[in-house]
Amino acid sequence: MSAATLSPALTGTAERTTAARGAPQPQTCAVRLIDRRTGQTHRVNGSPLLIFTKSPGEAAEDLLAGRDRALWEARIEPIGGAS
């Protein structure tokens, strides 16, 4: 069974098991919500909305949930060297 078909509760367990075997960890990324009209990072109380994660696809989907994708985009930027 692939990780894509596991339930969210089981996915974390599978990832921890793989990590315990010494498999390479996913690279940490910064995910930003960008307003396409201005090209600027969305801000909350003056601070840029930025998420650091090893699951950038999931973070991007969470940021875009309920938003008009013609107006918003999520940018994923790798941080540091590849692991």
**3-state SS, residue 18:** helix
Distance between CA 74 and CA 1 in Å, rounded?
A: 29
Look at residue 70 in the predicted model and tell me its pLDDT. 96
The b/e string for 30-48 (b: 16+ C-beta within 10 A; e otherwise) is bbbbbeeeeeeeeeeeeee
Q: pTM for the full model? A: 0.65
> Is residue 25 over pLDDT 90?
no
Say which residue, 48 or 15, is predicted with more confidence.
48
pLDDT category of residue 17 using cuts at 50, 70 and 90: very low
Segment 50-69 mean pLDDT: 95
> Is residue 83 over pLDDT 90?
no
